[in-house]
Amino acid sequence: MSYQAPLRDMHFVLHELFDVSAHCELLGNGLDRELIDGVLEEAAAFTAHEVAPLNRNSDEEGCQLVDGNVTTPKGFRAAYKQFVENGWASMTGPVEFGGQGFPQLVACNFHEMLMSASLSFRVYSGLTEGAVLALHKHGSAELQSAYLGKMVSGEWTGTMCLTEPQAGTDLALLRTKAEPQADGSYRISGSKIFISGGEQDLSDNIIHLVLARLPDAPAGVKGISLFLVPKVLPDAARNALSCGAIEHKMGIKGASTCVMNFDGATGWLIGDANQGLACMFTMMNDARFQVGLQGLGIAEAAFQGALRYARERLQSRSLTGAQQPEKAADPIIVHPDVRRMLLTQKTLVEGSRMLAAYTARQLDLEHGHPDTAARKAAGTRAALLIPIVKAFFTDMGQEVSSHAVQVYGGHGFIREWGMEQLMRDSRITQLYEGTNGIQALDLIRRKLLGDGGGELTALIGEFSELASSLAQRPALAEMASVVGTRLVEWRELAGEVIAMSQRDAQEIGACSVDFLQYSAYALLAGLWLHAATRAQDALDAGTGEQAFYQAKLHSAAFYLRRVLPRASSHREALLGGAECLMAMPEESFAF
């Protein structure tokens, strides 16, 4: 299937909703609208012409492991070489190490394009960017000098080695050992599983960031340290590590997912001893945002495929009579149920793109705002949003892909049309970098209960202010009322969740997923109101592209009438409580 980056919608989000030029001026990076748009146009061309054509073959061919060496699918090496040579790998890297320092608000659009074009291809570079963040923030000057330049350029890639056979979500069970050596290095021994890009033929070196325990480390997560363990050592010798196997997966078959064995491999400590988890969270937060973008990218590709097919496929006549009587039948886009699926796809994708940009903006401000207090505030807001973005976007990607299969009918179930691959590829996004259930627990335990709902109240207040300001504006008053009412309910529901969780700890797990879903639907409602306001402003001013702005108003109305009501079902389920989940004895589950 083909892919075309949704540049017009990206421009709307960047320039008309979030004023990216003013954002860049605040950050002091010297980027202007002309440069940003030019970069995204080149990004659109690269992803459409160089990356997207690889996607189908990567699924058919997969990766191959022979004598410890992994071969990526045909075309990946050439495309990755071009990716590096054209500077795409260094887009967000720190300037002092050869990076271009693009803000996330801009870069997230290119990253979405990569996810849409080929999620397997994007996996290799995505984790490298996270490893760069962790090393740049926590690594010693010596490690940074030795490794960051080539990692930023993409000449070397990076991985994140956390999971072990017995230690997935619960890293307290981690067993990999690190033994200190006289020269200040460490010998790393143990096995890691599910390591994306752990071995591949794209880069000259692979820099593994590995969680391990020192001999005198305390038990639990407080005894974990982070180490840099390169595939190739500074003296050009091969390190004592190897790929023992690659997983045979449901999807993303072009991304090598490896079992990595560390047999006394040489590594160096990153950050302080026993503080590895804190260091790794720098990388994990970026990874979770990026996985959210994976869900968004897959969803955009699925929507494009479904829309293209719905316009071309002729089946039956419209319920109101023939719409194209010169043809044997009408295109299926005339049928209400197909319209329902397409509009659901469109409004979830475009709404999520707005939330991605809103979150990216907070990430930028957290690191680059000139005011210390503003940086801290942005960091708190980003931390609240990350679990919502990761979980909701990836659930959304699976739903939108499923709708695409349905729009195609029987052809959606056939491999050559590409929809079933998107559905398989998207499924992993709900699992890795912390399952969506874990994201929901994080939202409740660390974010909502952590400050008694203070930051969530501030977020709700921001959108409530927008809704209130539109109460006297006839074209938008009804939408504003719907959104305002839902925001009040969201605030009240948060209070109920806090009270329930304080009465019974089981309620935290029982209500977390439904609360996250409710929060996401309410957030998108606020963002759709923002989009509708800008669209109405443009129409009132007589701006060109009337059809584009009118479509935004139609989309906002559809979202509020047909998608937002889902939040009510999550509220009702949440209020059902934990008792009905936990009362039945375990043995009663038997069949």
- Decide if pLDDT at 216 tops 80: yes
- Decide if pLDDT at 167 tops 90: no
Q: Are 430 and 394 in contact (CB under 8 A)?
A: yes
Average pLDDT over residues 363-373: 96
Taking each helix axis from N to C terminus, what angle separates 372-408 and 506-540, rounded to the nearest 10 degrees?
90
Banded pLDDT at 281 (limits 50, 70, 90): confident
**DSSP structure string for 365-379:** HHHH-SSHHHHHHHH
Instruction: Give the pLDDT confidence score for residue 285 in this predicted structure.
Output: 82
DSSP state of 179: E
- Decide if pLDDT at 172 tops 80: no
**DSSP structure string for 194-213:** EEETSS-SSSSEEEEEEEEB
Banded pLDDT at 548 (limits 50, 70, 90): very high
CA dist list (Å): 366 to 277, 353, 362, 379, 457: 20, 20, 6, 5, 19
- Decide if pLDDT at 102 tops 90: yes
Instruction: Give the pLDDT confidence score for residue 36 in this predicted structure.
Output: 98
Rg (CA), the chain: 24
Instruction: Give the pLDDT confidence score for residue 502 in this predicted structure.
Output: 95
| Phi and psi angles of residue 327, each rounded to the nearest 5 degrees, phi first | -110, 165
Per CATH, domain 157-274 is 2.40.110.20:
yes
**The one-letter amino acid at 300:** E
Nearest to 343 by CA among 557, 115, 109: 557
| Phi and psi angles of residue 336, each rounded to the nearest 5 degrees, phi first | -55, -40
Instruction: Give the pLDDT confidence score for residue 591 in this predicted structure.
Output: 84
DSSP state of 151: H
Q: Which fold has domain 7-151?
A: Butyryl-Coa Dehydrogenase, subunit A; domain 1 (1.10.540)
Instruction: Give the pLDDT confidence score for residue 171 in this predicted structure.
Output: 79
Q: Which residues contact 161 (CB under 8 A, 6 or more apart)?
A: 192, 195, 198, 208, 209, 210, 211, 229, 260
- Decide if pLDDT at 487 tops 80: yes
As given in the structure block, the two tokens for residue 238 are 């091969």
Instruction: Give the pLDDT confidence score for residue 127 in this predicted structure.
Output: 92
The dihedral over CA atoms of 299, 301, 307, 311, expressed in degrees to the nearest 10, equals -160
Banded pLDDT at 500 (limits 50, 70, 90): very high
- List 191's β-bridge partners, or say none: 261
Average pLDDT over residues 237-261: 98
Instruction: Give the pLDDT confidence score for residue 18 in this predicted structure.
Output: 98
CB-count exposure of residue 317 (10 Å: 0-12, 13-18, 19+): middle
The tens digit of pLDDT for each residue in 406-450 reads 999 999 999 999 999 999 999 999 999 999 999 999 999 999 999
Q: What average pLDDT does the structure give for the chain?
A: 97
Instruction: Give the pLDDT confidence score for residue 543 in this predicted structure.
Output: 87
Average pLDDT over residues 58-71: 97
Banded pLDDT at 452 (limits 50, 70, 90): very high
Banded pLDDT at 153 (limits 50, 70, 90): very high
Distance CA 122, CA 113 (A): 10
Instruction: Give the pLDDT confidence score for residue 533 in this predicted structure.
Output: 98
- List 494's β-bridge partners, or say none: none
Instruction: Give the pLDDT confidence score for residue 169 in this predicted structure.
Output: 81
Instruction: Give the pLDDT confidence score for residue 471 in this predicted structure.
Output: 94
**The one-letter amino acid at 355:** L
Q: Report the CATH number of the 435-581 domain.
A: 1.20.120
Q: Where are the domains of the chain?
A: 7-151, 157-274, 435-581
The residues annotated as belonging to the active site are 433
Q: Which residues contact 142 (CB under 8 A, 6 or more apart)?
A: none
Instruction: Give the pLDDT confidence score for residue 6 in this predicted structure.
Output: 98
CB-count exposure of residue 111 (10 Å: 0-12, 13-18, 19+): buried
